[in-house]
Structure 1
Amino acid sequence: MAPWQPENARPERVLILGWNRRASLIVDQLGRYAARGSVIAAVADRKEVTAEQVRDIGAHFVPWLTITFRPGDVTRPETLRCLEIDSYDSVVVLGPDLVPGQQPDEADNRTLVTLLVLAAT
């Protein structure tokens, strides 16, 4: 059942760049307040998530929204240039999960590069 919405609620377009273990919680929370017809588009490296995982999250948490997935390296300018960033109401940047042996600043560095590339597009 979709959440109650005010009469003037309009569908929103949200772009998620990157993916980590908290992404399903973020999708769930966005879905609780988004109007029917809203779109969540995710772009992330295939090592972080697959299209099937994103579809499963969408079907489980927010079946009244459209959720799409596009594989891509969000630290590369050519990836972000193809996304029509201005067509989205909101952009969420997620850093990757840490893997064993990885320094914490590696994930932070990747997120900062994404933010810098995003600002330059």
Structure 2
Amino acid sequence: VLDAYLALTGDPDAAASAARDLARRAGLDDPRLEAALALFEERNGFIAARGLPLERFVFTGSFARNLDYYTGFIFEVADGEGGESAAGIKPLVGGGRYDGLLQHLGSPDALPAVGCSFWLERLGGER
């Protein structure tokens, strides 16, 4: 089941449908999994509602950021030219949610957080 999930790739709507199908075939009837899939589909809806072409987004089940403090949605933005990343392209921006990081660093409370890094040298153009 894990290998099948890690092999999922495609636009987010197709990936959500494939993940639901995989869970059903594997007999994974868990409310936490249902909640995660519903949240993923809801996020897809918000992205599409903002006028962003969801079909140009790529979900990859094997994608991960190299930092373990992320707690939710993670992402990369790429131009599709050269280099290698989880999606096979050089990222221009990468980031995600890390709600537990500040508490891990000493905050008395967990604080919701999201951030990203830009690789300015990859943006091209005149300097």
TM-score normalised according to structure 1 size: 0.28
Determine which structure has more spread, i.e. the larger CA radius of gyration: 2
Higher relative contact order (Cα pairs below 8 Å, separated by 6+ residues): 1
